[in-house]
Amino acid sequence: MERIPILRMGEFLLVTIQVDMHDRLAMRLQDDLTEKIAETGARGVMIDISSLEIVDSFIGRVLANIASMSRVLDAQTVVVGMQPAVAITLVELGLELPGVLTALNVDKGMEVLRGTLAKAVEEQGGDRHPT
């Protein structure tokens, strides 16, 4: 069965989409990621779409679903590397990606994930030791 590999890097999961995904493959990625977050307790998910030549309403919906599903499992999703032509087209298509954090590239995406994680730890600490 064709699958998109999910890599684990410490507390984060990393997915690089390298093919023009048909709809079933995109749905499978959504399911696989959900399972993997639950199984590993990952706190962040980075999806690299720099090889994707289009994002249509279906793939957009899958990305939004992954983001909201990961939030329920206490993980933050960031989508990185969207090509400029894809971004321009998305706006005209009318697709907003609610709740989906984006970053320019993998490095920036890492910063975003580390940042949200650090903030979460801080908030938890604050709860335990109110000042």
Q: Which residues bind other proteins (CB under 8 A)?
A: 20, 22-24, 53-58, 60-61, 83-86, 88-89, 92-95
89 and 54 Cβ atoms separated by less than 8 Å? yes
Q: Measured between alpha carbons, how far is 109 from 106 in angstroms, rounded to an integer? A: 5
> Of 9 and 58, which has the nearer Cβ to ligand ATP?
58
62 and 94 Cβ atoms separated by less than 8 Å? no
Q: Does 54 bind ligand ATP (CB under 6 A)?
A: no
> Of 59 and 79, which has the nearer Cβ to ligand ATP?
59
C-alpha neighbours within 13 Å on the C-beta side of residue 105: 1
Q: How far is the CB of 23 from other proteins (least distance, A)?
A: 4
> Of 95 and 106, which has the nearer Cβ to other proteins?
95
Q: Which of 57, 68, 105, 124 binds ligand ATP (CB under 6 A)?
A: 57
112 and 80 Cβ atoms separated by less than 8 Å? no
From 13, 41, 19, select the one nearest 4 (Cα to Cα).
Answer: 19
Q: Does 51 bind ligand ATP (CB under 6 A)?
A: no
Q: How far is the CB of 57 from ligand ATP (least distance, A)?
A: 4
> Of 53 and 127, which has the nearer Cβ to other proteins?
53
Q: Which residue has the tokens 């994707």?
A: 52
* DSSP one-letter code for 121: H
Tell me which residues touch ligand ATP (CB under 6 A): 57-58
